[in-house]
Amino acid sequence: MTDNTPSAYVPVHRALEIPVVYATRENTAEYGEFIGTDVPKAGLSIPFYKGAVEEGFNLPFRYHEHAVIRTARIHPRPGEITWLERHLRMTQLFVGLGDAPLCMVLGKPNVESELPELDTVRAFILPPGTGIMIHEGTWHDFPMALDRPVTVLTANSEEVVAALAAQGSASEMNSGDVFKINILERTGVQLHVTLQGLGAPAAA
């Protein structure tokens, strides 16, 4: 079995620039469910307001024990990606509010491994007013702002927020359905994304 203790950390040996992709329902499908202005799962039979409301079926939001919804105001930050984390008991939701786009750095789920497959990591740019519900096990960093602050609404399991808030310092953690690792120390790869100069994509 691979030794994942700090003594097994490897030195920096390369930098990896994360590809930037404008998010669509199709190119995010292996990472999560894109939330746009359309209603792709329309047709739910509710007999009120016919002709005025396109009713959508329930989205596959899953959580453990208690669900919580909160907001966070995100400001632009440097492009180095230090942390990636995943949750195995929840499909976490992120929705950008207002007129600013946001960036989600995501890696495909690989629950059999304690390290992400770095060649699957992408920086998805979400249009203003859209979001994504990531699959269980999808690796992710917290959302990033592009050129101006953006407020993000998140839906989580209560245990996830509690575990993060109880963390005494910015260090690796494995508690409360949060498995969060330092990518540079674990792999020797410095992840980076360049967001400067990117325009907001059209609303989906």
For 149-186, write each residue's pLDDT tens digit. 999 999 999 999 999 999 999 999 999 999 999 999 99
For 65-81, write each residue's pLDDT tens digit. 999 999 999 999 999 99
CA distances from 12 to 8, 84, 172, 191 (A): 13, 17, 18, 11
Domain boundaries, the chain: 6-192
Fold for domain 6-192? Jelly Rolls (2.60.120)
Distance CA 147, CA 77 (A): 9
Q: What pTM, to 2 d.p., does this model score?
A: 0.89
